[in-house]
């Protein structure tokens, strides 16, 4: 990513240092500093910047005078103003002179980073236009700012991973950033009992919210849940003196499962229609994310239950296979966690361990259950089970990684395994893990044609075959995890 050039203007060095360090930590900003407007103008005449972040009150030349001069020197640069004296007149004056945003001191650094990110998105959207300060450009800027903020909401929610609580936390944090909320809460809604349960509370003590705020807005919450529409509740409708509250329902398939509430930071200023639209965009996107996650998990569980049934059906013919599969699953999960593999990889080996012998469902009983040594032909039939297992799962796009693990779990490190004769690191890592857990359990389990080995003997076999049948490094990891 090309580094964006940012100029920070403030007469207090520690504030400049704080902003510069925060921006540079993001990794894609090149930051310059100036201690007043005049010094900033000299830098602007020498170098092109993407954003200027400037204080209002400074010696020699203040921020508002700098704003006027910027329009002559670099009219396309975006400016964000900061002040410890946020009078409405000052804000309006700054915006009329070309500032794209306004921050009150003391500010949260994540709020500043948020405004910088959104402003840069706006600038990129306008890069093909001549940024003249006429009415047409102002309208275009407004549209681009709107699109930039909505895109920011989409990207943030789309990149929100983990269980629902992680998504809900991101929703609450983002809502406060987008509209400058004083506090924000996400309440889960019990449809049958028609009751709200505060789930996430930010910016206010939970006891204060539950005892003082919630009783006053409960009617508004019920109204939002019943109408399935986001709304602004003004101070006239609430007994406590706060300016306004947004209540926005979260829904799955048109059924309300929660309501997001946010209160305005500044007294005397109500939420705007545009801010309501932003919160609606946020809650609708979050609801869709949760719905997709629920549907995915439901489909996923149904698939796994189906395959569990297939594995269990083998037990009718061979009780060893099902019991062996679950023991291997436990061993390979322990091994993967011991190695510090990711949660996604641990989940993959859990499924692959459980299903690694599913291909044996197609092996004839006379071969699968044969109590004597197998003939060469019969052994080749047994060797087909990884490929059969991979084929059974082939139509399930959700299990691509697991299919690969199962297909190659009988490859050998020296290349003498099957089905493809892969060797060394060409064998998928998780297949190499599964091969060790599978072999160890097979050696330590009784079969109709032989008795089990002792654990010590099986360990010696693993060590003996390190670098031959098994990846030696992974054998050591497996033994450490026992």
Contact 82, 54 (CB under 8 A): yes
Check residue 118 and give its pLDDT: 87
What's the CA gap between 55 and 10, in Å, rounded?
5
What's the CA gap between 215 and 238, in Å, rounded?
10
Check residue 138 and give its pLDDT: 47
Give, in words, the CATH class of 164-289.
alpha beta
What would you report as the CA-atom Rg of the chain, rounded to the nearest whole angstrom? 31
Check residue 85 and give its pLDDT: 66
Check residue 5 and give its pLDDT: 93
**Phi, psi angles (nearest 5°) of residue 355:** -105, 5
Nearest to 116 by CA among 80, 152, 150: 80
CATH code that applies to domain 4-137: 3.40.50.2300
CATH code that applies to domain 318-481: 1.10.3210.10
* Contacts of residue 86, Cβ cutoff 8 Å, sequence gap at least 6: 102, 104
Check residue 477 and give its pLDDT: 92
Tokens of 115: 């405004």
**Phi, psi angles (nearest 5°) of residue 145:** -60, -40
Ramachandran sector of residue 184 (left: φ over 0; alpha: ψ -120 to 50; beta: rest): beta
Check residue 31 and give its pLDDT: 93
Check residue 303 and give its pLDDT: 75
The β-bridge partners of 252 are: 255
Check residue 385 and give its pLDDT: 93
How confident is the prediction along the chain (482 residues), in pLDDT tens digits per residue? 578 999 999 999 999 999 999 999 888 899 999 999 999 999 999 999 999 999 988 888 888 778 878 877 887 788 998 887 665 555 655 665 678 888 888 888 888 899 898 888 877 766 545 554 443 454 555 566 667 777 777 777 777 666 777 888 888 888 888 887 788 999 999 888 888 999 999 988 888 888 888 888 888 889 999 999 998 886 554 445 456 789 999 988 788 999 999 987 555 456 777 788 888 888 888 888 787 776 666 667 777 777 777 777 766 666 666 688 889 999 999 999 999 998 889 989 999 998 998 898 888 888 888 878 889 999 999 999 999 999 988 877 668 899 999 999 999 999 999 999 999 999 999 999 999 999 999 999 877 667 889 999 999 999 999 999 999 999 999 999 88
What kind and span of H or E run contains 5? Answer: strand 4-9
What's the CA gap between 246 and 184, in Å, rounded?
9
Tokens of 248: 């926005």
What's the CA gap between 4 and 266, in Å, rounded?
32
Domain-wise residue ranges, the chain: 4-137, 164-289, 318-481
What's the CA gap between 420 and 407, in Å, rounded?
9
Nearest to 177 by CA among 100, 275, 86, 50: 275
Report CA torsion sign: 275, 279, 284, 289: positive
Given the DSSP bridges, would you call strands 29-34 and 4-9 parallel, antiparallel or unpaired?
Answer: parallel
Check residue 456 and give its pLDDT: 94
Hunting for tokens 């990794």 — which residue is that?
A: 27
């Amino acid at each position: 990513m090309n580094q964006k050039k940012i100029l920070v203007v403030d007469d207090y060095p520690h504030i400049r240092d704080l902003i510069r360090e925060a921006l540079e930590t993001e990794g894609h900003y090149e930051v310059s500093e100036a201690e007043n407007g005049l010094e900033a103008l000299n830098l602007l005449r020498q170098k092109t910047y993407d954003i200027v972040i400037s204080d209002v009150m400074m010696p020699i030349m203040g921020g508002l005078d700098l704003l006027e001069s910027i329009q002559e020197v670099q009219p396309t640069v975006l400016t964000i103003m900061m002040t410890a004296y946020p009078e409405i007149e000052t804000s309006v004056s700054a915006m009329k002179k070309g500032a794209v945003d306004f921050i009150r001191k003391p500010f949260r650094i994540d709020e500043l980073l948020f405004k910088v990110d959104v402003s840069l998105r706006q600038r990129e959207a306008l890069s093909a236009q001549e940024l003249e300060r006429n009415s047409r450009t102002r309208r275009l800027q407004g549209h681009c700012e709107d699109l930039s903020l909505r895109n920011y909401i989409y990207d943030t929610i789309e990149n929100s991973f983990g269980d629902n609580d992680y998504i809900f936390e991101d929703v609450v944090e983002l809502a406060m950033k987008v509209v400058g909320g004083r506090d924000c809460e996400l309440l889960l809604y019990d449809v049958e009992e028609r009751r709200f349960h505060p789930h996430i509370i930010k910016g206010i003590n939970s006891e204060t919210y539950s005892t003082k705020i919630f009783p006053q807005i409960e009617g508004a919450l019920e109204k939002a849940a019943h109408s399935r529409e986001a709304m602004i509740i003004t101070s006239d409708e609430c007994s406590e003196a706060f300016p306004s509250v947004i209540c926005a329902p979260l829904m799955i398939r048109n059924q309300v499962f929660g309501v997001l509430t946010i209160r305005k930071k500044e007294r005397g200023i109500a939420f705007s229609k545009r801010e309501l639209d932003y919160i609606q965009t946020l809650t609708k996107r979050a609801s869709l994310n949760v719905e997709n996650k629920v549907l995915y998990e439901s489909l996923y569980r149904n698939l796994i239950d189906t395959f569990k049934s297939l594995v269990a059906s083998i037990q009718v013919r061979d009780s060893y296979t099902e019991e062996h599969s679950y023991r291997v699953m436990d061993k390979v999960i322990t091994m993967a966690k011991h190695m510090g593999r990711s949660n996604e990889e641990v989940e993959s080996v859990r499924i692959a361990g459980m299903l690694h012998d599913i291909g044996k469902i197609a092996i004839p009983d006379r071969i699968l259950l044969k109590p004597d040594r197998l003939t060469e032909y019969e052994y080749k039939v047994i060797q087909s089970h990884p490929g059969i297992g991979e084929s059974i799962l082939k139509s399930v796009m959700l299990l691509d990684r697991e299919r690969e693990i199962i297909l190659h779990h009988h490859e050998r490190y020296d290349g003498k395994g099957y089905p493809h004769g892969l060797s060394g690191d060409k064998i998928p890592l998780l297949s190499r893990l599964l091969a060790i857990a599978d072999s160890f359990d097979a050696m330590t389990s009784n079969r109709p044609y032989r008795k089990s080995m002792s654990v010590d003997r099986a360990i010696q076999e693993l060590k003996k075959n390190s670098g031959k049948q098994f990846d030696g490094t992974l054998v050591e990891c497996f033994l450490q995890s026992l």
